[in-house]
Chain A
């Protein structure tokens, strides 16, 4: 059919003359009008309808991903020392990077939702039936390609979240019979995760998968046009043309999708605005976790929400080992995909079509249920009333969770025991959820810290951001302290409500604020020196220091309160934290009291004095970084406790041929952390301790 449309389709309001002639010139050489006509003037039986918009919104979503993805590509660097760093740069430093990445990230999720809706609409409308079977199969392949792009994209920022989720996903790929291990090694790009995992995932994400998708999409659309729209009976309105009726509905749907995507990105900004907090663009849009660290556990690891159902489904097979995982991750999803591929054939019969609809609805319901279960397991602690389980918690603690003792507690009351056990299980779930929530909070803090470090004026070293985190006292101090020091020492602000119980559990001094005047004041307080915050739980409980503070120091005739204050100020000044409101003369007075052979100097050495070794720590440079590194390295050194060292290990000294428990650098990190010395960005200028 020949359409003569010269001039008559010039844009309304445009001068017909020149533009019209230009259009004619182009049309003569390209025949674009016929093409455009072919594309736009497709008959829509029964008129335009909202239920037909899903395919178009998916194409729109994909185009959005292509546009944003290409620009992201122009700033992304796939490599173990550059992936996180370049994404950090996009998210936090490049103009509009947060919005670009946010759109790409949220649209990917929208695409999964739109896929489900498109599939549902196609199945319900029976649009897979002859002659459209091939197109349905193409659609299923397209769906898997989109999911594959979602999976591969998750790793690219090389943050803790993506890294651990991908480890799980690739390990599952290793369960495929026969070829599994080779498949896994191919995907990972070698025996271990690193540069080639990223380059390969990136090539898959931005090359192989989208190229395949485009090819399939072209055929999918061509076949769609060949067979025409599968109209939903009954047709209540007259036929219409694709343009403009259906296009208008499609465009409105696209706009709605984009509005939702932008809404998700901008919602936190709105919330911040309403709460009067400053809006930090880098915190909007897609999250960026802390840099991937194979040496740090990541309890907050979860797949993206649309894969949560699979994650939860695998839990069903817990206890079955690899067989269970193989069954849950490969056999069942394979069977489901198999049924879906057979739908056009099953659907030839009316009953088969009903089965298909029921199967799809059931599948989506199952996915929804599993997702809800996974969410509930993770977040139950938010809405659960843990206080209601206080008695259960108390009994579990009292009995040390020993079943025999619990049974004894209830005597022969089977019903009470059963009720208790049910509640104990519930409590266990709340505890699990709480530890997940704590891990999420911790992960967020670690991510914020990594971003703060990356923003230092010195920028990120060529060794990558992980190196920054690993050498950061603020990040590593608490971990190292908990691992090596926390089994004896407490580290809790004395004003905290938890302080008494934590100090009571500890078997050595509370080191919170060590080196400050506040800490020194507690040490020289007759009421506290023998308490659990200082020497109370150590071998020095009845030692010379405790008896000195309780005796001599408490005696106002021997030690005037002003002298004690001067010593406190001098100690803090020694550590490098001189109290602001104390005049230098008082500090000098304190120093001379410390050095006085009749006072502190009778046990402690201070300054360059040649005296015999004493079993009390040298107070020269007390609390400084160097002093702390020294005592942690070797408390039995004659400069510190010598032979009277209680139980503190020599963390920096090799013993019995084994390497020292801590490296010099690790000891420095602990010392810096105890002293509150770490990089503070503008957003993080928090007070010491």
Chain B
């Protein structure tokens, strides 16, 4: 290996060189930073795209007909069917979630409860023997009309959904998602 170039002037002496060096440092920072900016900007721009997306507006979706909801006060699970768009894919009508419907003896009004646990969003299950709802994740319990059974990990009762019964007995539910983990029932946009 050839010896280092000792013949050349030492570097760290000249005062003028240091000013030139500071300028060079600044220029190097600027040029390097500018060169790296486009991929960072493009990356952040695209990565943040999901923030621009809005879910489908809450709408009344047909679920079943009144005759299919026995008037025994016991909730029954029904699938909510709707057309759905997932990024680039458009799905024809298919189950997109579930609700519990119940009807009191002789009543023509139907109550609807979201099957999503208000605690952490798990799917709340119906326990017919114990005549209550139970969330399999953290054991939140709810009464048959969705009321909270204390003590409960869930900060609030099950979320009721607006429900309409049409002229011909068709039951439609306003399909909505709510923020979980908070005491207040607040719809997601």
Residues of B within 8 A of A70 (CB): 43
B37, closest chain A residue (CB): A258
A459-B85 contact, Cβ under 8 Å, with A68-B42, A96-B42, A103-B38: yes
How far apart are the CA atoms of A297 and B8 in the complex, in Å? 66
How far apart are the CA atoms of A85 and B86 in the complex, in Å? 11
Interface string of A123-143 (1 = CB under 8 A from B): 000000001000000000000
A43, closest chain B residue (CB): B4
Residues of A within 8 A of B48 (CB): 95
Interface string of A62-77 (1 = CB under 8 A from B): 0110011011101100
A99-B45 contact, Cβ under 8 Å, with A241-B11, A251-B32: yes
Q: Is the CB of A251 within 8 A of B28?
A: yes
Residues of B within 8 A of A235 (CB): 5, 8
Q: Is the CB of B87 within 8 A of A86?
A: yes
Q: Is the CB of B5 within 8 A of A239?
A: yes
Q: Is the CB of B8 within 8 A of A239?
A: yes
Report if A88 contacts B (CB, 8 A): yes
Q: Total interface residues on B, using CB and 8 Å?
A: 38
Instruction: List the one stretch of A153-161, A242-250, A398-406, A679-687 in contact with chain B.
Output: A242-250
Residues of B within 8 A of A252 (CB): 27, 31
Instruction: List the one stretch of B88-96, B100-108, B168-176 in contact with chain A.
Output: B88-96
How far apart are the CA atoms of A244 and B42 in the complex, in Å? 28
Q: Is the CB of B28 within 8 A of A248?
A: yes
A93-B88 contact, Cβ under 8 Å, with A245-B24, A248-B31: yes
Residues of B within 8 A of A107 (CB): 39
B87, closest chain A residue (CB): A89
The smallest C-beta distance from B47 to any residue of chain A, in angstroms, reads 5
Q: Is the CB of B35 within 8 A of A251?
A: yes
A462-B45 contact, Cβ under 8 Å, with A64-B39, A245-B24: no
How far apart are the CA atoms of A656 and B138 in the complex, in Å? 68
Residues of A within 8 A of B35 (CB): 60, 251, 254-255, 257-258
- Find residues 23-80 in chain A having any chain B CB closer than 8 Å to their own CB: 43, 45-46, 60, 63-64, 67-68, 70-72, 74-75
Residues of A within 8 A of B129 (CB): none
Report if B49 contacts A (CB, 8 A): yes
Residues of B within 8 A of A238 (CB): 5, 8-9, 11
Report if B25 contacts A (CB, 8 A): yes
Q: Total interface residues on A, using CB and 8 Å?
A: 55
A48, closest chain B residue (CB): B24
Q: Is the CB of B31 within 8 A of A68?
A: no
How far apart are the CA atoms of A100 and B45 in the complex, in Å? 9
Q: Is the CB of B40 within 8 A of A85?
A: no
Q: Is the CB of B11 within 8 A of A103?
A: no
A131, closest chain B residue (CB): B1
Q: Is chain A's binding surface mostly helix, strand, loop or mixed?
A: helix
The smallest C-beta distance from B13 to any residue of chain A, in angstroms, reads 11
Report if A458 contacts B (CB, 8 A): yes
Which among B85, B88, B91 is the interface contact of A86 at CB below 8 angstroms? B88
Interface string of B9-45 (1 = CB under 8 A from A): 1010000000001101101111110111011111101
How far apart are the CA atoms of A75 and B49 in the complex, in Å? 10
Report if B54 contacts A (CB, 8 A): no
Residues of A within 8 A of B91 (CB): 462
Residues of A within 8 A of B46 (CB): 71-72, 75, 90, 94-97, 99-100
How far apart are the CA atoms of A59 and B31 in the complex, in Å? 15
Which among B1, B24, B39 is the interface contact of A67 at CB below 8 angstroms? B39
A460-B49 contact, Cβ under 8 Å, with A243-B25, A248-B24, A252-B31: no
Report if A240 contacts B (CB, 8 A): yes
The smallest C-beta distance from A3 to any residue of chain B, in angstroms, reads 12
Report if B52 contacts A (CB, 8 A): yes
Residues of B within 8 A of A95 (CB): 45-46, 48-49, 52
Residues of A within 8 A of B1 (CB): 131
How far apart are the CA atoms of A63 and B8 in the complex, in Å? 35
Q: Is the CB of A247 within 8 A of B32?
A: yes
Residues of A within 8 A of B34 (CB): 255, 258
Residues of B within 8 A of A368 (CB): none
Residues of A within 8 A of B31 (CB): 248, 251-252, 254-255
Report if A608 contacts B (CB, 8 A): no
Report if A223 contacts B (CB, 8 A): no
Which among A94, A244, A261, A459 is the interface contact of B49 at CB below 8 angstroms? A94
Report if A262 contacts B (CB, 8 A): yes
The smallest C-beta distance from B177 to any residue of chain A, in angstroms, reads 21
A100-B52 contact, Cβ under 8 Å, with A89-B88, A244-B28: no
Residues of B within 8 A of A262 (CB): 38
Residues of B within 8 A of A261 (CB): 38
The smallest C-beta distance from A498 to any residue of chain B, in angstroms, reads 39
Q: Is the CB of B42 within 8 A of A103?
A: yes
How far apart are the CA atoms of A241 and B24 in the complex, in Å? 12
A88-B88 contact, Cβ under 8 Å, with A45-B4, A251-B31: yes
Residues of A within 8 A of B45 (CB): 95-96, 99-100
A65, closest chain B residue (CB): B39
Residues of B within 8 A of A241 (CB): 11
Other A-B pairs, 17, CB within 8 Å; known A235-B5, A459-B90: A60-B35, A63-B36, A64-B39, A95-B48, A96-B45, A97-B49, A99-B46, A100-B46, A103-B38, A238-B5, A239-B8, A248-B24, A248-B27, A250-B32, A251-B27, A254-B36, A255-B35
Instruction: Please list the residues of chain A having a beta carbon within 8 angstroms of any beta carbon in chain B.
Output: 12, 43, 45-46, 60, 63-64, 67-68, 70-72, 74-75, 85-86, 88-90, 93-97, 99-100, 103, 107, 131, 235, 237-241, 243-245, 247-248, 250-252, 254-255, 257-258, 261-262, 454, 458-462
- Pick 21 A–B contacts, CB within 8 A, sort by A: A64-B39, A67-B43, A68-B43, A85-B88, A86-B87, A86-B88, A89-B88, A96-B41, A96-B45, A99-B45, A238-B5, A238-B8, A238-B11, A239-B11, A244-B24, A251-B30, A252-B27, A454-B88, A459-B89, A461-B89, A462-B89
